[in-house]
Every structure is written in structure tokens, then in C-alpha cells.
A and B are shown apart, each in its own frame.
Chain A
Amino acid sequence: MAIDWFAIAPEIALTVTALLVLLADLNLRGDAKQLVNPLAAFGTVVAIVFTVLLWGEERTTFGTSFVVNEYAVVFKLLFLGSLLAILGISWRFFAEGRYFQGEYYFLLLTAFIGMLIMPSARDLLLLFVALETVSIPAFVMAGLRKRSLYSSEAALKFFLIGVLSVALMLFGISMVYGFTGTTDLAGIAAAISAAGDPEPLLLASVMLVIVGFGFKISAVPFHFWAPDTYAGAPLPVAAMLAVASKAAGFAGLIAIAFIAFEPLAEVWAPVLGVLAILTMTLGNLVALQQRDLIRLLAYSSVAQAGYMLIPFGLARSGADGAVVNEAAVQAVLFYLVAYAVMNIGAFGVAIAVNRRTGLRSIADYAGLSARSPLLAMALTVFLLSLGGAPPTVGLWAKFAIVQAALTDVTPFGVVLMVFLVFNSVIAFFYYLKVVKTMWMDEARELDVQLQPGFNLSTVVAVLMIGTVVLGVLPGLISGATSLTSLVAAG
């Protein structure tokens, strides 16, 4: 089998970086351990360079199981950009919190290796192993605050629900293999469409596979781990879970739904549409009652996953569905990029406030505008963008979803749009509540000054500027995503 080594160059770069980080951790002592952060960042930059060089041509390697095209490159750039941002916001947090640092950065890099492989995987087994490579370091990272009982409990919840969903998914995968005789995604689609009427067991196994990914993207009713885990994990890990892990789940779900099970779109599209409605609504309604900013961001992430599920509800099988499916995938991709920028920024500000003071409830953000106007402005921009207000990129993200629905108007699509608008309005209630607290309430007495580190400030500033710039020039993203074609390339 001829292997195209350049196609997996980004993954190789990250793997080498991860192993070097582990070696460095063994040899560094004391405060020097922080240096693994810039080492990891350097490796990430090298991987980004390789990824950018892969733009333009489509490469297939390892049989047909690993495909690198524009779609995969955009996803990989999303992941690597998130990794760089998370490295920036976690440096001081982990150095001063007296955590195990070298191991954290190693686990983070390993999770991202899995994430890089997921949008390129065209084989169920590779997809599954990549998904596990994303999940298992995440389980450990969520429990990194070993000295807090609450944190350990949260990590345990995450782990138990995670392995249960993965077990169900594996059962579904094995049944799908039993029906189609292959694990290649395109081969599965061919076998399913050649078989005529799908048997009930095949449909059941499709649902089981969706369950596995539903856990990863924290869709309702698989979302119960999200608020506790985000609240219990160290905050940069929560940012990683909210953005990168969710994006990886979506990458897998797109591959499964739009490639492997595409002939069955009439079966799973309504299910995913209903799931989208439930997720959006429940996420927003429960977020209204939250008084802790991290839990509010957690439920808001759940709701955002609901928005991103809407394009899945629009899918159709066969040749007449090709246009809708393309538009749907591009809408999800656009939303994911925009969401990454907004959400990591929001968590970054939360880290800046929490790192020295340990404070995290909304009441603690009162008067932030007086104490630290830049942080307050940044959080305002991020929250408004999450809600979808102009002139931020969040507006265009929601618009992309509406655009995908408009390519082929169906009654169910109209219902989904109504729920999207309705939920955006609800979401504004709690986003604006936080904004109001920051700008209009009296500041409380604080003995410790907020001192966000240089890296964190840079990351937050870049993301804030990015949110606004992309809101004015959304073509920067959509120019890239509109070039992606997942379905045609197979």
C-alpha cells in the first residue's frame, strides 16, 4: 500500500510534538516545566504550516480510509487554531494552579491528534479509534483537579456517560458491519442503497451510532454530563471540551450521516431535527436560570450544539438531496469556525477573572467594566456574538444555517427556522443579563487584582478582534467553506 506521507504530515507533527513534550516533562524540574507550553505551541505552528500547504489538492492515502481535501483542511485549521488559543489561555492557569503540567499538555496534544484525524477518516474503524483518542485524554483532563471532590465527581460522571455511549455506538458499528460487510464509509452507503428496504435492525444500529456522537456534541438527552463537567474541570479544559471536542463530534457525525448513512437520510434527518429542537430549547431555558457563569456557558454551549444540529435535520438522500446536503455541511462548518472563535474567547475571559480570585458566579462580574474595561468589552462582544447580534460573526453563523434551509424549503425546515429564531431571542435574555451585570452593576470589594497573563490577553484580544472583523467580512470564512465539497469527493 502506497502511503502519501505528506497527507498525514500535520498529524505526524503533532505526534512528534506530543512525544517531545512528554520527554521534556521527564527532564524539566520545578518552574521550568512551564516551558512545555511554548514547545507545544511551536509544534502546533509547524502542524499549521503543513496543513496550509495541503490546501488545494485532494489526497487519498492508506487505502481509501484517509482523505485530505479542502473540507478536511478547514476542519484541521479550526482544530489547530483552537489548540493554539487553548495553549495561550492555559499557560498561567496551569503554572500557578500547581497542576501536573507536562502530562496535561501531552494529553491535550494527544486529544488533538485524534481530532485532526476525524475529518479525514473515511473508515468506521479509523473514525472510532480517533474518537476514542479524543475522548480518553479528555476524561483524564477533566479530573485534573485531583484535590477537589466535586471535580473528581464531575470527571467520573463524564467518564461513565462517555463510555456508555461509546459502547452503544460500537454495538451499532458492529451491526452496520454485519449488514454491509465493510467499514469503508462510501462502501457502506453503496451497500445500503443497493439493499433496498432497510431492515429494522439496520435502522436501530444507525440510531445507536448517532447516540455515540450525540454524547460527544452534548445533544439532549445526552447532555447531562456537560454542566457538571465544565464546572468541575479546570477552565481551559472546559474550553477545550466546549469547542474542540464538540467540533470533533460534529466532524464524526458529518462523516457518518452525510457519507455512510446518506441513503437513509429520510430516517435520521427528522430524528436529528427533533434532537436539534430539544437541544436548543432545553439548553436555552435552563441557561436562563443559571447564576454561575461557567454553568451558563455550559448550557449555552449545549444550545449552540442544537443550532449546529439544525442543518442535519434538513438532509435528504439521493441525487436531489446533493445540493441541500452540501449547503448543510458548509453551514455546519461555518458555524463551527465562528463558534470556536466566540466560545474560546468567552472562556478566556472567565479564566482571566477566575485565575487569581477563584470567582465564577455572574454576580462576581458586576462592575467588571470599571475594574477591567478590556475584559468587559471582550466578554460583551463574545456574548453578543453567541447570541447572534450584528456586527459580530455570530449573526452570519446563524444566517448560514438559514441559508442552508432556504436552498430547499420544506415544512420541517420552516419549523426548524422558527425554533432557531425563537431560541435566539431567549438566548439574548441571559447573555444580556451578564452584559448588564458587567456594565451597570456596582463593583464588589476585591482584595486580589485581576492580572491576566500576556498570552491570555493576547488570545482574548485576537479573538475579540476576529469576532468583529469576521462579522464585517464573513467572506473570509465562507470563501473557504464554500470551496469544500464533502459529498462529491466521497
Chain B
Amino acid sequence: MTGHDAVFLLVALFTGGAALLTVTSKNLFHAALFLAATLAGIAGVFLVLRADFLALVQLVVYVGAVAVLFLFGLMVTRAPIGREALDGQNRGLALAVSGTLFVVLSGLIIQSFGGVRAAEVTGPGIREIGIAIFAHWVLPFELLSMLLLAALIGAILLARRESGESGEESVERRIDFGDEPSTEAGAQALPAADTAGELPAGEPVAGGER
């Protein structure tokens, strides 16, 4: 076992342990923090494989932005944080499915790629990646800009607070089975909120349409 392997073993134990704690933790906030630790561990895996740019991307984007977004999302939606709050009914089935998938996939991977030594892996440096992007992958690159813009617009759209926009009715009732009220009984079945097409006169639109 070389030093390289020893380092990988440490990183792998850290990452795997953090991942396990993420899915078994009873406190959602702790789970999000363990997820950040898992993502940081994966950055360590990239470093073991000598992909320093990818490790940087992982840390900056995943740990720095995505994990933070997770935490903010938990806080904004007032996610239930507490021992009894998480729904644990499907744990057995989930464990069976994911365990089977893990065993099968890792068995197949070891069978096919088991002979490759990590110490021999050399990835492209940041310079090669830069040349490759602009020499071969320009079209996906520009398409990504539209994708990012669409994600930005979509997220802002979903997070905006202006009332009076986006959707006709306002269904303010508990979801029993997640079904919309059926209209089999005719128009009476619909909730009494504003379903008519015309704009109700004089309804204040908070913030105004910008």
C-alpha cells in the first residue's frame, strides 16, 4: 500500500462516512452540513487523481454555492428540524434498493477497471481544458449560457413574492391525497377563489409589475 493509496483511503473514509451520516441523520440541518462535508471529500478524491482544476470547481461551486443554497432553502421553507419530523417509513426499501445498486455497480466497476492504478492517472491541466473548451466544445459552452440564463430566470420567477400573478386560483387547503378538486360535479366543485378570466377590478398588486 503506497502513500498514495493511504491518502485515498483516508479521503474515502471521510467521504463515505459523511455520506452515510447525511442519509441517516435525524436533523435536516445536520444532514445538509454532512452533505457539504461529502462534497468537500469528493474534492479530495479529485485531488488524489491529480485533477486540481476539478477539485477547485468542486469546492467553489458545490461546497461554496450549492451546499449554501441547500441550507438557505432549508431555512426559508422552515423545514421540519427535529427528531420526530422526518418520515422514516420507506427506510427498509430504500436501503435495499440503494444497497443492491451499490453492490452491483461497484462489483462491475472493480471487475472492469480494477487493474488501473490511481498513481498512474494524469488528467489534463487547466490549460488543456481551456484549449479543449474553445477548440472542440464551443457549442455546448454557448448552449450552457442559455441553460444558465433559463435557470436564473426560472429561479427568480419561482422565488418572487408578487401576489396577483402566476396562476388563477389560490387553493388554501390541506393536501389530503394531493389531488386537485375534480370538476365532475361541475363548476361548483371548484374553490371559490378567483377563477374567472377577467382581472378583478381594484385588486392591489403588491409591489406593482416591474
Q: Using a CB–CB distance below 8 Å, which chain A residues touch chain B?
A: 1, 3, 8, 15, 18, 22, 29-30, 33, 62-63, 65-66, 96-100, 103, 106-107, 110-111, 113-114, 117, 125-126, 129-130, 132-133, 136-137, 139-140, 143-151, 153, 178-179, 199-202, 204, 228, 231-232, 291-292, 355-361, 363-364, 444-448
Contact = CB atoms under 8 A, between A and B. Distances in A.
B170 to A, nearest CB: 5
Given A291-B182, A292-B182, A364-B184, A144 B147 contact: no
Interface residues on B, range: 35 or more
B60 to A, nearest CB: 20
A137 B198 contact: no
Interface stretch (B10-18, B46-54, B84-92, B135-143): B135-143
Contacts of A149: 171, 173, 175
Given A30-B209, A98-B199, A446-B187, A150 B153 contact: no
A65 B139 CA distance: 9
Given A100-B157, A140-B157, A204-B104, A356 B136 contact: no
Contacts of A200: 108, 111-112
Contact of A150 (B108, B113, B171): B171
Contact of B150 (A29, A136, A148, A359): A136
Contacts of B158: 140, 143, 146
Residue of A111, A129, A228 with most partner-chain B CB within 10 A? A129
B140 A129 contact: yes
A201 B111 CA distance: 8
A136 B154 contact: yes
A15 B146 contact: yes
A98 B182 contact: no
Given A150-B171, A359-B187, A99 B166 contact: yes
Interface stretch (B19-27, B61-69, B189-197): B189-197
A340 B111 CA distance: 45
7 contacts: A30-B209, A110-B146, A148-B171, A179-B112, A200-B108, A358-B183, A359-B186
Given A126-B140, A140-B157, A148-B171, 9 more contacts: A96-B197, A97-B167, A100-B165, A110-B149, A143-B158, A147-B169, A150-B180, A204-B108, A292-B183
Given A63-B136, A199-B112, A146 B166 contact: yes
Nearest to B203: A98
Contacts of B143: 113-114, 117, 126, 129-130, 133
Interface of B: 104-105, 108-109, 111-113, 135-140, 143-144, 146-147, 149-151, 153-155, 157-158, 164-171, 173, 175, 178-180, 182-184, 186-187, 190, 195-199, 209
Nearest to B137: A125
Contacts of A133: 143, 146-147, 150
Contacts, number: 169
A131 B112 CA distance: 29
A145 B153 contact: no
A98 B112 CA distance: 56
A444 B168 CA distance: 23
A140 B154 contact: yes
Nearest to B105: A204
Which among B166, B170, B209 has the greatest number of chain A C-beta atoms within 10 A?
Answer: B166
Nearest to B173: A149
B153 A103 contact: yes
Given A126-B140, A139-B154, A292-B182, A147 B171 contact: yes
A179 to B, nearest CB: 8
Contact of A98 (B111, B140, B146, B168): B168
Contacts of B169: 147-148, 358
B167 A146 contact: yes
Given A110-B146, A136-B150, A359-B186, A147 B167 contact: yes
Contact of B186 (A136, A139, A364): A364
Nearest to B166: A146
Contacts of B138: 1, 3, 62
A166 to B, nearest CB: 13
Nearest to B162: A100
A236 to B, nearest CB: 14
Contacts of A18: 146
A178 B153 contact: no
Nearest to B143: A129
B167 to A, nearest CB: 4
B180 A358 contact: no
A129 B113 CA distance: 27
Most buried by A among B105, B139, B147, B165: B139
A113 B158 CA distance: 22
A146 B140 CA distance: 31
A140 B155 CA distance: 8
A33 to B, nearest CB: 8
A443 B139 CA distance: 55
Nearest to B208: A29
B196 A110 contact: no
A136 B168 contact: no
Given A106-B153, A137-B150, A143-B158, A151 B168 contact: no
A145 B168 contact: yes
Contacts of A445: 186
Contacts of A140: 150, 153-155, 157-158
Q: Which of A144, A149, A292 has the most CB of B within 10 A?
A: A149
Contacts of B136: 1, 62-63, 65
